[in-house]
Structure 1
Amino acid sequence: MVFDINKSIEILQRTPLILESLLQGISKEWVENNEGENTWSAYDIVGHLIHGEKTDWIPRAKVILSKAENKTFDPFDRFAQMNKDQERTIEELLKEFKEIRSKNIEELKSFQINETKLSKKGIHPELGEVNLKELLSTWVVHDLGHISQISRVMAKQFKSEVGPWSAYLGILKK
């Protein structure tokens, strides 16, 4: 499949709904447990997604599409959610994520993305020159990766409980 803004939006719009369906109203252990030291829980991942909505995807797209000479992105703190208020419920995080994602999709649509805009470039502080198509494609894959990560973290909560079936459960081997 080649990049298509409408197909990308199909995924970006669904991510909050998927996470809400998966995480809302379930036991704290499902949400708060992780895979061990230096790993993230579902709670941490949703916090990370919120931080990305505020400081990564749309702000960087705006830099690329701007008329500014300096197209260097601000660095992104991938661990910023660890320094945020950890007392909020998962329901509060899911609500915030859903609201900010909805606003960001509307803003993305307002950019009226076309082939010319997709080829515009910005400068990532670590990766160097990137274009808008790469940024937006990464946003979609980033969402899918974290949906997969949340599923894996949750599945591993029963890793020692499945007995011999673990041989058939690839999600437990990653």
Structure 2
Amino acid sequence: MSQDLLTTILPLLERTPAALEAQLRGLPDEWINATEGEGKWSPLVVVGHMIHAEEEDWMPRLRRILQHGTSVPFDPFDREAQFTKSAGKGMEQLLREFRTAREEGLKELRKLNLQAHHLNQCGLHPTLGETTAHQLLATWAAHDQSHLVQIHRTLARRLKPEIGPWAQFLSVMQ
């Protein structure tokens, strides 16, 4: 399933920067800083998190699997590093940084010319234990989709007080 996996996930991974840009570029601050409530992430924070994942998670962990297997565990991933790393940055800058990081990651992924045996190799996650390169790559694409949904949901729910009884017909408001 090696080439099938890459054929499946590459179109998703390639489109994420454009999807984020189409949804978020040029929006006023009240939209990009909106949250679903206390302790929830705004679109600005989500994009910062996605940049951090590009830099510290997907390709670094894939390289670790290919070079060391399970003999060297993955470094722990700080899911909240974006609060420091992206502090003071605006959405336009974060969108550019994400696009650049993604393009570099996909360029490196393609250069690896992964085969089935590569995707079956295991790495050692600090919490999950053994995971395969295949699982890591599938999770990369699913992670993108999860955060795109999160952003869409956050933006839609910002309108909840305005739509009144119509909310009952919109699953995103539940």
Structure 2 residue aligned with 1:159: 160
SS in structure 2 at match of 1:33: coil
Contact 2:70 2:122 in 1 (8 A): no
In the alignment, the residues of structure 1 paired with residue 137 and residue 38 of structure 2 have an alpha-carbon distance, to the nearest angstrom, of 31
Extract structure 1 runs of 4+ deviating beyond 4 A.
none
Structure 1 residue aligned with 2:115: 114
Structure 2 residue aligned with 1:97: 98
Query: How far did residue 85 of structure 1 move?
Result: 4.0
In the alignment, the residues of structure 2 paired with residue 109 and residue 138 of structure 1 have an alpha-carbon distance, to the nearest angstrom, of 17
* Structure 2 counterpart of 1:120, one-letter code: Q
SS in structure 2 at match of 1:161: helix
- What does 1:21-36 align with in structure 2 at a 5 Å threshold? 21-36=22-37
SS in structure 2 at match of 1:145: helix
Contact 2:69 2:122 in 1 (8 A): no
Query: How far did residue 84 of structure 1 move?
Result: 2.5
Query: How far did residue 69 of structure 1 move?
Result: 6.5
Structure 1 residue aligned with 2:57: 56
- Please report the TM-score for the alignment, with normalisation by the length of structure 1: 0.95
Query: How far did residue 67 of structure 1 move?
Result: 4.3
Distance 1:147 1:120, change over 3 A: same
SS in structure 1 at match of 2:130: strand
Aligned length: 173
In the alignment, the residues of structure 2 paired with residue 71 and residue 6 of structure 1 have an alpha-carbon distance, to the nearest angstrom, of 29
In the alignment, the residues of structure 1 paired with residue 63 and residue 55 of structure 2 have an alpha-carbon distance, to the nearest angstrom, of 12
More helix by share: 2
In the alignment, the residues of structure 2 paired with residue 113 and residue 137 of structure 1 have an alpha-carbon distance, to the nearest angstrom, of 14
Distance 1:129 1:67, change over 3 A: closer
Contact 2:70 2:124 in 1 (8 A): no
In the alignment, the residues of structure 2 paired with residue 78 and residue 106 of structure 1 have an alpha-carbon distance, to the nearest angstrom, of 24
In the alignment, the residues of structure 2 paired with residue 68 and residue 141 of structure 1 have an alpha-carbon distance, to the nearest angstrom, of 23
* Structure 2 counterpart of 1:114, one-letter code: Q
User: Per-residue CA shift, 1:38-63, capped at 9, x if unaligned?
Assistant: 10000000000000000000000000
- What does 1:7-22 align with in structure 2 at a 5 Å threshold? 7-22=8-23
User: Which runs of 5 or more residues in structure 1 are unaligned?
Assistant: none
User: Which runs of 5 or more residues in structure 2 are unaligned?
Assistant: none
In the alignment, the residues of structure 2 paired with residue 67 and residue 84 of structure 1 have an alpha-carbon distance, to the nearest angstrom, of 28
* Structure 1 counterpart of 2:25, one-letter code: Q
Identity %: 40
* Structure 1 counterpart of 2:98, one-letter code: F
SS in structure 2 at match of 1:160: helix
* Structure 2 counterpart of 1:63, one-letter code: R
- Please report the TM-score for the alignment, with normalisation by the length of structure 2: 0.95
